Structures are given as structure tokens and as C-alpha cells.
Amino acid sequence: DTEVTQTPKHLVMGMTNKKSLKCEQHMGHRAMYWYKQKAKKPPELMFVYSYEKLSINESVPSRFSPECPNSSLLNLHLHALQPEDSALYLCASSSPPQGIGYTFGSGTRLTVV
């Protein structure tokens, strides 16, 4: 298995909703990432988990809450989002060192209404 699987592919949520994005990989990678990408912009790093521990939080607002239950799973819990949070959310994984060989999922297209 050489894939990173993200669910759901599309999500529409209201500003008072609570939802979660899920990411799964079975490549034995021990680093996992959340990126946010808006139209015509580069992917922007949000969080990095290394060996199931949060190692980087790029000053992301607390309405985004990451969770890494085990080495194969990465969740992003969403609560009280704003319309400007609408974007493509990409999950990636890699074997350390972190800069080499990222595998990305297809992303979740999130729309906040």
C-alpha cells in the first residue's frame, strides 16, 4: 500500500458545526502532516506529527485541533470555523528525514458556510 487516504473528499459545514477530517497511511511512515491550500497559493504547513507526537504547530488557531491516535492515523478536528477557513486540506506522510519523499493524500475540499 503506497497511498495516503483522506476522508471525506468534500465537506460543507456551518460555522457552529463540529466535524473531523481523517487521514490514513500504511506505509510505515512515522511523520505525518496537515497542509492547507487555498486557490492559487502554495500548500501551507499547519501541523507535523513525528512518532505520534506533535512536533510542529505553525501558530494555527485553536479551532483546528489535530490528533494522532496511532502511527497510521491522523485526524483534524474542526470547530467553530470561519468562511475564510474554506480550503483544500492536504494530509501527507514521510519517513524521516522529513524533507524527503512526502506522499500526499488527495485532500479534503472544505467549505464553511
Partner 1 sequence: DQQVKQNSPSLSVQEGRISILNCDYTNSMFDYFLWYKKYPAEGPTFLISISSIKDKNEDGRFTVFLNKSAKHLSLHIVPSQPGDSAVYFCAASAGNTPLVFGKGTRLSVIA
Does residue 101 interact with partner 1 by CB under 8 A?
A: yes
Q: Which backbone phi and psi does 23 adopt, to 5 degrees?
A: -140, 135
Does residue 53 interact with partner 1 by CB under 8 A?
A: no
Of 12-20, 59-67, 79-87, 97-105, which part binds partner 1 (CB under 8 A)? 97-105
- Cβ closest to partner 1, residue 17 vs residue 37: 37
CA-CA distance, 95 to 108, in Å (whole number)?
Answer: 23
Exposure on the CB side of residue 29, measured as CA atoms within 13 A: 31
Which of residues 4, 32, 68, 87 is near partner 1 by CB under 8 A? 4
- Cβ closest to partner 1, residue 57 vs residue 82: 57
CA-CA distance, 40 to 76, in Å (whole number)?
Answer: 23
- Find the angle CA(6)-CA(66)-CA(7) to the nearest 5 degrees: 15
- Cβ closest to partner 1, residue 40 vs residue 53: 40
- Cβ closest to partner 1, residue 43 vs residue 66: 43
39: three-class secondary structure by DSSP: coil
List contacts with partner 1 (CB under 8 A): 4, 6, 33, 40-45, 48, 56, 90, 92, 96-107, 109
